[in-house]
Structures are given as structure tokens and as C-alpha cells.
Structure 1
């Protein structure tokens, strides 16, 4: 029998409301809470239960973090086993076995042919901060290029690279870093004239970098690195056009610039390959990963060519770098990804996208369906004729899904609904999700 969400109360329920009131009183208001109010009590696989006993089908996996599903039994076992022998001993001062084990495994996995070294962090933002400092140290340069729509973190360094939402920037005055932002290549709402498809958008962006940026405000010889997402996350789940990353690689090679891939959102099997950049046949100099690498535990990594990660002892570190419990979870996560979950992301991702494309044919408010693997974006618009974003309708659909027991998440551009379910999701789960999504759209328009 097909498992479905079970909603027993008006949402949020009475117990949830009590917790929400307490949260409002004592927790920072800066947290980006969703339009719907979900109080999670427990989670397992692709299912989440709230404090009132309602059960939801999770298609955002803790914001693309719980790659192996919630509380995967093998990951839980690895966490318990490690926590019984060593919880923390500060890897920046001491050595322990699992640290080098994960670094060696990452050397095998990352799409960098040269020997690599790994810096361990506790989040994606920390991993990107490490990449920033490393690029500046290695090149002896201080300027960077990033892209409109990018999200690289909210710490002061990564915030300089981030360019997705105004709210991230308001109140923090000038940027810490010298960063120029250029349009990410996409046909939809491109700022460039004569853009008819993603490839022409790519050519326009490359031309802007080489013939405008390099010749005016940002000389190539002063640029330390280009930060880019192979699939923009917060920007709306836009995959890079086929030749775009190759052109960035050429620009970097010709000018002594480091190509830095932020795979915090798109990495660790989510797109049907271990890293999204593998779809493009491009080798970065530095690659950052987090989110799905630890199945929910806080870990991030910055992996670079060994000749690039040439900074001296004490130049960068953190007390919780390479926490052994987090690493144990990561090693088990990678094992599960290699043993079928990455391939499942490819297969089920195609199935999900095909179902969403059918709904696009059915509804005039679905202007675009895009993505790779289990990283799929649905653009909600006023109509296909004008393609104007419809953020209020997007929010209505999101809440209507919640009320029916489906968790998806908006954001990511002006009016995008993002699908990033756990990589264990099945066709049966997708069928249920698409049925609810269909019902939610019908009720919202």
C-alpha cells in the first residue's frame, strides 16, 4: 500500500503553537522561517512527524542536507560507534585516524586529477571562507569574481560573494572583500540584449568578463579567484549552460586565476554525480562541499590541489575542524552514495522532472522546470505569455502543499519552488508528491 502523509490537526497544531510562541520569545528573529510553520518532533527516511502527530513527505531534506534520508540506520550506527570512543580532540592540534581517512577518500572523489589536500570546516560558509583565504594566500591577489544569484554564505567574507537577496546585505555596510558580480548565464530574465537561449547568455557573460570587467574595474592580473556554482542553489536551481564552466576554466588558465566551485548545495550525489561539475567535464582548482556530505551533521570541506593548499602551519584552523563524529557520519554517507544513492538521484530525478513537465503542460502558472538529478526548480509565473514572477502564488502553493502533508521549499530566486528530496526517495514517493503538488496548484490558482 502506498504510504501517504497523515494530517490529523489544523496546521500548526496546538502543541506546535506553544513551541512557536516560545521560539518567538527567545530565539533570534533573523532565522529565515518558511511561510508555513512546522515544528519537527522526529524524522525517518523521507518522512517527518510534527509535535502534534502529523506526518509529512519531505521533499527538501532539511534544506538539501539529509542526503541519505532522515536518521539513516547505518549513519546512526556510525555516529553511535564513533561517539563511544572519541567525540572531540581538536584536529588542528592532534591526529586521529578518521580525519586522514576522509581526506584520502575525498582525494579519490573530487574531479581534480592532481593530488589534493583538504581543509575541514563545520559548515558550507566556513568551507568557502577557507577557499577565499587560500586563494588570496596562494595567488597574492585580492579581487574576486562572483555571480548574480549566487549564495556562498552569510559570514562577512562569504557575504561579499553572495548576491541572491537584498535582505542578506541590508545593514552590513560595505563588503569586506573586493568582489565584482556578473550575471549568471540564463535565458530567463537575462539582463543582456539578444539572449535567446542559455548558450547565448553564456557567451554574453563571458564577453562581459573579458571585454568589460577585465578592461575597466577588475584587471585579470589582480583577480585571485572566480567563485561559481555549477547549479545555482539560492539563485533558483539554474544549471550552468554546457560550455560556460569550460570557458571560465579557459579564462582562469590564461590569467593565473583559480577556478573555485561552490558545491555546498549541489555536491554529494544530488545531481546524479558525486559533484555537479562532473556533468561539465571541468576540473576546478578548489572545490567546497557541505550540506549532504554528513547526512545532517555539521561538516564542510574545502578541497584543493596540493600545490595550491600550500599555506603554513597555523595560517588557518578552527577548534571544531574535522570533528570525528561528523567525519564518521560523512564516511558512511559517502559509502551509501557510492553504493546506489547517487545513481538513484539520477534515475528518480529524471522521473520527478518528467512528472513536473507534465504539470507544466497542464498549468499556465508553471513557466519553467529545470535542474539536474534531485535538484529541480519550478518557476511560478503569472502566465507563460508574460513570464512575470508570481511570488505570492508561489507562497500559496507552498502552504497548500504543507496543509496536505508535502514539504517543499520556496525561495531560490523570485518565485521558484525547489525540490531537493532525500536521495533515497522512490518513484512511489514521487507519485504521491506530484499528486499533492497538482492538488495544491489547483487549489491556489
Structure 2
């Protein structure tokens, strides 16, 4: 779809001629499985601003799916990568070097586990989840797991067994890992159970499963996103995570928090679970950890991870010096002020979105913490029917207006800009979003 360019941002019809040429080249040699949302072909970026190959400027409020925590090409991260690359590009994780040990020390210092922590360094979120599942099964000797509907944990076979945000992710790949039982994620805006406390209702549902079909003595772990991402940017009701922790303790089940998307300062705290003061046994991290370089981590209580014997788990690229250097610089920046900026600017962003909500009845709910924000769109039928087509139209119109966004759930626009986004950039994005909503509602 070509549209009239915004003179403040966009110089060509989108996609421009250079972008069209690259998309055509890509179609001949790259897998069609990538879920490209709109024809953005990036040239370069600085902070929250990015430019495509035709010179069009955009505000990036999706940050590579919450990966670019420190913005694009942060000079401190770039220098750390350059310095590390000049020394050596790789040595396998069978050996030692300063960047890997330093990262382990930093992760132990910020891990919200309530006791000493150890880390296994890997390359991605899905690999971190795989490692967490293997660790849980290894130390408990139990075969079963519980996951949550709407969750996204990755696309390799173990993590895919838990992923249930869209059926297309599992279609064609059955059977996946046996022994995984899914339960609802509590959603007060769209309650599945009677009563006001959806968190308590989900806990009761799990207890019912324990009585009827899932022996709790066979459950190794419960895997959950403390704030659910792909399922709709959902925030659990207060008390739910604490109740889940108590349920796990009652039955000797390990609690795994998947903070691949919600961690590393995204919600205004280092990890989302800290908003409720609930400590997991194992935590997974990736995405924002490396500011764009591929890195992940399984962070576990030392008493748990220390049970792994030599050779029980490993990889070739884990602890790569260049990616560890990026992660070390990222953590220093997040702890040094970006996490606080996420909290402060996030509050401003939420307030501006709620102002917008007063003008647009199609905005059913604005929710989130820090710079993890969801805006759920609904139809005008008085039934909170998800406005799926409108959501897609808003994301597309925003692209043509110079604002990069992504959706999640059935009809939620999610906002996950870099953690160093400014108030001025948020206000600019709000103006672009307002125009995009007007155009999408008008069918433009």
C-alpha cells in the first residue's frame, strides 16, 4: 500500500525504490517463513531514530522486538564490541575469558532470586528456555511441565511445546515435547472465570488439574512470563505470582520465569518479577541483554545450577567475547540510568496514551509498566470484541507515517521503544499514533 508521504519523516512512497529492489532480491534467496509485518528495509539507526535505504526517517518503537535496549548504535556498546573484536572474535565456552566471567558476575549481582546465582550463557531466548527446561528436568528427575496459554517461549522444539500465542507457530510441527499442560493466563480485562480475582481462579484451576489429571509429584517446573508478551502484553493481577510461588513450594516444583522480553530494565526494573517481589528458581534472559547482539542466559539459583555435572549441558558459541562485551556494556548502561529512564518516561507515555484513549473509544485498555505498554483495540459493539483488523491497520498506517510498531495478542498494539527514548520522542510518537488511528478508522 502506497500512501501520501509525511513531509516531516517520509520522502518517498513506501516502500521506496531501493527498498523494493532489496525485497525482490530477498524473495529469491531467504526463507519465506519470516513474519515480516511491513516493508521496512533498514539502512542505519541512532538511538530511537532509524532510516531506511531510501532515506526515510522513522521512530523505532518496536526496537527489534524489545532487543535494542540501549537504542541503535549506542557509542558505549559499539566501543565495547570494537575493543573485544580487536582482541579475539571467539574461543569456545570450554575455556575462560574476562568478558564471560564479568558477565556472570553482573548477572549474579542483578538476579532477583533471593540467593546466590549462577548463569549459563547462550545465544538466544529459545536456547535459554531450552536450557532452563533441561536444568529443571535434570535436578528434579520429573517429566512433566505446566505452561500458559498465550505464552511465547521460542520456536525450537522444547520451547515451541510451551509457545501458544498463535496456533501458526505450532501448525505443521506436531508432536512437540510430551508432558506439557497449558493453563489460562489471568487476564482481568478478558476474564475466563467467574469472580473478580482471575489470579486466584487460575491457581484454583491448577489445583484442580493436580487432583484430576496432572500428578504434582511428576511436575518438574511451571514456566511463565511474569508479564505476558506475545499473548497481549498482559500484566498479571497482584498476588498471582506470589500464589504461584507458594503452589510450587507446596509440591516441590521449580518456578521458571521467562524474562526474555520483559527483562533488562524494560519495565522500569531490571526484571519484571521484581514489581511483585517474587523470586523464581530459574530465570531466562535474552533480547535486550546484548543491545542487538545475539546472546541469552539461563540464570538459576546456585544451589540448583551447581548440580549440573561436567558435560551435562554446553554449546559452542556461549560466552562469545564480542557478545558478552555488548551485554556487559548494556548492563552497565541499564543500571547506570536507562532503567530509571524507562520508569519515568514510561509513566509519561502511559499518561499520554490514556489521554488518547479519551478521544478514541476504540482503545479499550492501556496497560503495562515502564516501557512495556500495550494498547488493546476493541470494536464499537459494547462487548469489548477484539478489533483485529483495526489493530493491523493502525500498525500499517503508523509505518507509513514514520512510526515502527508491532502488534500482539488478538488486537493489541505494543510499544517497546529503546530504554533511552526521550519524552520528546514519545510526544512525537503520540502525534503520529493519533494520525494513524484517525486514518485507520477512516479506512484510509
Output the TM-score relative to the length of structure 1: 0.96
Measure, in 1, the Cα distance between the counterparts of 2:123 and 2:176.
Answer: 23
Aligned twin of 2:77: 75
2:308 is matched with 311
Q: Give 1:378 deviation, angstroms.
A: 0.5
Q: In the superposition, relative to structure 1, how do residues 116 and 384 fare at CA in structure 2: closer, same or farther (>3 Å)?
A: farther
Aligned residues: 434
User: In the alignment, what sits opposite 1:407?
Assistant: 404
* 1:357 has 2:359 as partner: no
Distance 1:106 1:5, change over 3 A: farther
| Equivalent residue number for residue 140 of structure 2 | 139
Q: Deviations over 1:173-223 (max 9, x none)?
A: 12213111100001233322x244xxx11011000001x210122111100
Alpha-carbon distance between aligned partners in 1 of 2:428 and 2:354, rounded to the nearest angstrom: 16
Q: State the Cα distance separating 1:252 from its structure 2 match.
A: 0.8
In the alignment, structure 1 segments of 5+ residues that lack a partner are: none
1:267-287 Cα shifts (integer Å, max 9, x gaps)? 000000000000001111001
Q: Decide whether aligned partners of structure 1 residues 141 and 359 sit closer, same or farther in structure 2, where only a CA change above 3 A counts.
A: same
Q: CA deviation at 1:115?
A: 1.6
Counterparts of 1:242-281 in structure 2, within 5 Å, are 242-281=238-277
Q: Choose which of 316, 322, 344 in structure 2 pairs with 1:347.
A: 344
**Inter-partner Cα distance in structure 1 for 2:335 and 2:117:** 20
Who is 2:64 aligned against? 62
2:4 counterpart residue number = none
Q: 89, 92, 96: which one pairs with 2:91?
A: 89
In the TM superposition, what is the alpha-carbon distance from 1:26 to its structure 2 partner?
Answer: 1.3
Quote how far apart the aligned CAs of 1:113 are: 2.3
State the partner residue of 2:12. 9
RMSD: 1.0
Structure 2 residue aligned with 1:203: 200
Distance in structure 1 (CA, Å) of the matches to 2:174 and 2:151:
19
Partner Cα separation in structure 1 for residue 48 and residue 428 of structure 2 = 12
| TM-score computed with the length of structure 2 as normaliser | 0.96
Structure 2: tracts of 5 or more residues without a match: 1-6
Identify the match of residue 390 of structure 1 among 387, 405, 421. Answer: 387
Task: After superposing the two structures, state which structure 1 stretch, 295-304 or 19-28, moved more.
Answer: 19-28
1:290 alignment partner in structure 2: 286
Whether the 8 Å contact between 2:188 and 2:237 is mirrored in structure 1 is no
Deviations 1:117-160 (A, max 9, x none): 11011000000000000000000001001111100001000011
- Paired with 2:191 and 2:180, the residues of 1 have a C-alpha distance of 21
CA distance in 1, matches of 2:108, 2:128: 16
Cα deviations by residue, 1:365-389 (Å, 9 ceiling, x for unpaired)? 1111101110000101112721101
Shift in alpha-carbon separation, 1:232–1:5, aligned structure 2, 3 A = farther
